Each structure stands twice: as C-alpha cells, then as structure tokens.
Amino acid sequence: MSQLLLRSFTNPEALRTFEPVRLLTFLRPYADFFRSRGVKLPEASNANETDLDRLAEVMMTPSADTPADLVNALHHITELATTEAADVLMRAARDEGISIESPSDASAADIALQMWMADPDLVCRKHAEHQTERRQTFAAFFATGAVEPRWRPKRQFLSRFTKAASEWFDMRRRGRGLKVFLHEYNEEVRFIVRRGGLYQREGSLDEGKPGSVHFRPMRFDVLILDRATGELRINAESDPAMRMYRVNLGLFLFGDREFFAEKCERYNLDPIRRLGRMCLACGDVPGIQRVVLKSVTIARDNPYGRRSSERGDDVFAALELDGDENLLTEHVLLSASFKVFFANSKRSRTVTIRPPNIAHYERRDDGPVIERWLIARGFARIGPRRKAHEPLASG
C-alpha cells in the first residue's frame, strides 16, 4: 500500500504543538494500529504521558497497515497548522455554523485538528485554496474572446475536465484520484487541481532496522481565469501539463481548444533598453515607494547560446560606475528581477519577469499593485478585449 510520507511528524516537537487531550481524542480510533506498532495510547486523564517520541517514529515510517485515512488527515492538518490558515479555518467555521473549541491557549494545530474532526471535506477545500496563495510563478495566456462577467462553470464541465486531466496524468504514471476544487475570488475563478506525483521510494529506519517507505506524493496545480480580462494564468510542474490545462479549459469552457492562445506576449523588457533608469519610475503607482533593478539575464551574440547575468544591489548604478551602461542596450534581455519597496512595508520584495509570459512574485498578494506598475512602465500589457460571448459552461 502506498503512503504519503509524513515529513511534518518526524520529530516529537511537531506533536507537542497539539493540546494532549485533543491529540489523543483524534488518535483514539487508531489505537489498535498504534498498539501493533508498540505504542499504547494512555487514557485522557494521563494524556501528558503519551510517548511522543515513539509516536513520531511510527508516523514517519508508514507501512502497509498504516490507515490511509490517518495519513490523509495528518497531511491536511499539518499543512494548515499555521497562524494564517487558522484564521481562515475559524472564519469558515463561523460561516458554516460549525462549533469548535477555541480557548485562548488553542494553537493553530489544535484548530486545524478540531476542524478536521468536525468537517474533513471543508478542510480539504480550504487546504486546496491555501495552495493557491502559496503559488508565486504563473504563465499567462490571453483569450481570443471575452468572458461573460458573471459566469460560473457548471458541474458537468468540472466532470469532463476532471476526467480528461485524470486520464492525462494517469498515462504519465502520476496515478489516479485527481480532484478539482473551484474557488471564486473577486473577478477570478480559480481551479485548484489536486493530483499525485511520480511514485517515490525512500530509505527508512524503524527500530534500528533499515527499510524503505514507498508513496505517491500529493501535488497541486493552480489555474486562474480572470473574468474581467479573459486572461488565464497557470502554475504547473511542466510545459506539457500547462499545455494540457490550457487546451482542455478552452475546449470544455468555450468549445475551442485554442481559445486561450498558445503564443502570448504578456511581458517584455524593452523599457530597460529604451528608457534606462527611467523605466523604474513609480511615483504614479500608489503603494510603491521605490523600484530597483536587481538582476538581468543577457543573451550574448554567440552561436552556442551563451548567457550572462548582471546582479547587484542596483544594476543600473553598478554598470554606470564601471562604464558599462550600454551593456543593456546592446544585447537581448531574457529576464529581469526588480526589488520593490512598498509604502506599507519595511521589507522589499522581488518580482521577476521572463518574456513572453512568465512572472514570479515573492508574495502573490503583491501581484495587483506590481502589475499596475509593470503596465504603467510598459513591461506588461493587458490582452485585447473582444466582444463577449456566452461560454459553453456558463451558468
């Protein structure tokens, strides 16, 4: 039986983030399993006597008899055992009328644990949405038509899309069980795809005896469709997977495999060549105080594809000091990273653009304000707006 490796439980310190009685309550249904592995769960009155060292050892070495639902639960709980996720889960509990204990000493792990015991399906949805916020690099594709502003994919679309994506990954040895979560956020419709990765085996040590664990890791891909612009943004592990998502969304939403154009010139670096340091001006973009060119990758005039990188605290200043200001105008620029200083933050953050359609943000929630700056300076453009038509899957 394949298992998910529980990396978060490889030491007892992770288990100590749970209130002992709550942890025992969660583990009690699996008492026979733990007993078979040499761990006897104490009564609730003696919760502090739980052998956390041995529990951690059992959890990091799953075997054929490890309950699959225990593995699944622990994966979701540990992924959401953060302060940010706890706020999301408590808000979801209020919205759904779910009552959980949240005393002042409840940890983020306690809240995630209680939510799982109350409504595991809700936790799975919130976990999928959480994956969206963690993604920072997206490829953009322009639509060849516009999207109705209020449409929402019907269940039949999700069924067809899920079947096609599941078959595609299964053929590439990623396993079955793919699931798509749908989440709407302002003008965005987000498709979070939970699937398997390639099978993995790793060495393990169980009670001093070497062995191995085998498992299929859980992976997430994120697809975001902007209803206002018709732009599709995809975060996936490979170009073939990205193409599959782009084609299938176009096919099942609009009846056109190429509705989202493969060639998309979303970003360019011409402002660096044309404007020099002036391309960093930001006084017309509220929320940004200053922008600095942090690095740039250059394609040399070389038949062997030679590339070079210029890096520094301020690339423009460094090149001027060395008398190399023309370097950026004499060669093709392949990528550039900018250090952005925000009005409401003491710490700068970085955005990297790689023409024609790749952007990487240090934090995804910086995206909207940085996009305004990129568009204002000519580094980015919005896709052509076309007459809207009703999608096949609208409703």
Mean predicted confidence (pLDDT) in 25-51: 89
Phi-psi map region of 286: left, alpha, beta (phi>0 left; psi -120 to 50 alpha): beta
| Banded model confidence at residue 389, pLDDT cuts 50, 70, 90 | very low
- pTM here is 0.64
Higher pLDDT, 91 or 293: 293
pLDDT digits over 362-380, tens only?
776 677 889 899 999 999 9
Percentage of the chain lying above the pLDDT 90 cut = 33
How far apart, in whole angstroms, are the C-alpha atoms of residue 101 and residue 26? 14
Domain residue spans in the chain?
A: 7-120, 137-254, 270-377
pLDDT confidence tier of residue 92, bands split at 50, 70 and 90: confident
Answer whether 368's CB lies under 8 Å from 260's CB.
Answer: no
The pair phi, psi for residue 118, each rounded to 5°, is -85, -40
pLDDT-derived band of residue 167, with 50, 70 and 90 as boundaries? very high
Average pLDDT across the chain, whole number: 83
Instruction: State both tokens at 266.
Output: 């979303």
